[in-house]
């Protein structure tokens, strides 16, 4: 193995590859990155057996690679990434010194790194028999942003640690819930699809960090796995087994009260109460009438009181209590100047929407009033 490569391109590929690595990997060889040097390309692979990434660097666009000798090996990801990051210059050289040592050099620096026989690396099957559907990278990143924060971090119900993707015809509904809140985003698909899958949020975050907005992402689903294909990269992840709950039934068909309020003013008012916690939770009470909204929060040491002007309110006066940080998370996704909060009394979920994006809905469950 002997090649020279553009440092930035190689480092970018290593950063993506590292997203599939875990300190709790069952096989020591999976702490490394598989490197296969071909005549006109380099393939990098990484896996923790739950998520696997394959990315390729080639000379199709920019002449970033000069291969003198092909070969394959496995290198410790942590050391390799740090060496490439810190080595000076815009080009680095990598070559086999002997059967178990790789030399890495650039500028005035040179390093040696022990390697592992590539034949010890497990075979990863990136093939998939299903037809792909395509979603733009910008839309996929927005969908993840709008929902993933609502996932549970508890393993009591593992399916709630993931984001559900359910396609029926031309509609794709993306949902997440931790039992106390729900985020739902709808997307129109170009072609008709039919599937219902739940992707672990951790792995979906890895996909989010790997794609660019301008990417066209091909998605294939087959036999409890999903493959994201974009640029020169494939990301394969296992799916969660259990059935995702039907969160749509939590949305009331009608409402008793409707509030429209300036989004940034509402966010700022909640933020000013965020340091006041009761049993570790930021609990706020909203008292709403046709003229204004009062927001209060207190614990044994301190209290706060905010009066907020409103755009409009219909229905009887209402007092409702909920977690302020849950409202904040929802407001962060609802863009535009104004946000609408729909109520069915003090003990039913709050449904939040914005005129700027009618395909997004946020639901927050109340707490019993204090």
Is the CB of residue 310 less than 8 Å from the CB of residue 259? Answer: yes
Q: How far apart are CA 310 and CA 293, in angstroms?
A: 7
8 A C-beta contact, residue 57 and residue 5:
yes
For residue 26, what pLDDT is reported?
79
Q: What is the pLDDT of residue 247?
A: 95
Residue 33's pLDDT is 97
pLDDT score of 178: 96
Please give the pLDDT value at position 276.
Answer: 86
What does pTM read for this prediction? 0.93
Q: Which domains are present in the chain?
A: 2-120 (3.10.150.10), 133-246 (3.10.150.10), 251-364 (3.70.10.10)
- Look at residue 4 in the predicted model and tell me its pLDDT: 97
Distance from the first to the final alpha carbon of the chain: 69
Q: Residue 301's pLDDT is what? A: 86
- Residue 364 has a pLDDT of 97
Q: Residue 272 phi/psi, 5° resolution? A: -70, -15
pLDDT, block means (10 residues), the chain with 370 residues:
96 96 88 96 96 93 89 96 96 93 95 96 93 95 98 94 97 97 96 95 96 96 94 96 94 95 96 84 94 91 92 97 95 96 96 94 84
pLDDT of residue 23: 85
């Amino acid at each position: 193995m002997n090649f020279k490569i553009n440092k930035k391109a190689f480092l970018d590929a290593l950063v993506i590859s590292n997203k599939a690595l875990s300190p709790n990997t069952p096989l020591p060889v999976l702490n490394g990155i598989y490197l296969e040097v071909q005549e006109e390309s380099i393939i990098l692979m990484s896996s923790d057996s739950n998520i696997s990434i394959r990315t390729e660097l080639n000379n199709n666009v920019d002449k970033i690679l000069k291969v003198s000798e092909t070969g394959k090996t496995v290198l410790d990801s942590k050391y390799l990434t740090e060496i490439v990051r810190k080595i000076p210059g815009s080009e680095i050289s990598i070559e086999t010194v002997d059967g178990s040592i790789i030399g890495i050099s650039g500028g005035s620096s040179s390093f040696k790194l022990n390697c592992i026989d590539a034949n010890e690396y497990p075979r990863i099957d990136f093939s998939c028999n299903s037809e792909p559907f395509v979603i733009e990278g910008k839309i996929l990143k927005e969908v993840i942003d709008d929902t993933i924060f609502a996932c549970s971090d508890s393993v009591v119900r593992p399916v709630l640690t993931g984001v559900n993707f359910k396609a029926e015809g031309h509609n794709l509904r993306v949902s997440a819930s931790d039992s106390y809140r729900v985020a739902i985003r709808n997307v129109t698909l170009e072609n008709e699809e039919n599937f219902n899958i739940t992707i672990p949020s951790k792995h979906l975050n890895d996909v989010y960090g790997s794609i660019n907005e301008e990417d066209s992402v091909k998605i294939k689903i087959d036999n409890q796995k999903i493959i994201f294909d974009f640029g020169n990269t494939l990301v394969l992840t296992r799916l969660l087994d259990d059935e995702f709950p039907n969160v749509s039934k939590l949305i009331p068909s009608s409402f008793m009260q409707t509030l429209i309020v300036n989004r940034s003013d509402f966010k700022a008012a909640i933020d000013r109460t965020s340091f006041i916690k009761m049993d570790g939770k930021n609990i706020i009470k909203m008292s709403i009438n046709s003229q204004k909204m009062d927001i209060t929060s207190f614990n044994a040491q301190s209290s706060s009181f905010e009066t907020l002007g409103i755009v409009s309110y219909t229905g009887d006066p209402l007092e409702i209590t909920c977690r302020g940080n849950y409202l904040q998370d929802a407001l962060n996704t609802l863009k535009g100047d104004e946000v609408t909060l729909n109520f069915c009394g003090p003990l039913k979920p709050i449904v939040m929407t914005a005129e700027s994006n009618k395909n997004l809905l946020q639901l927050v469950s109340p707490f019993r009033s204090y």
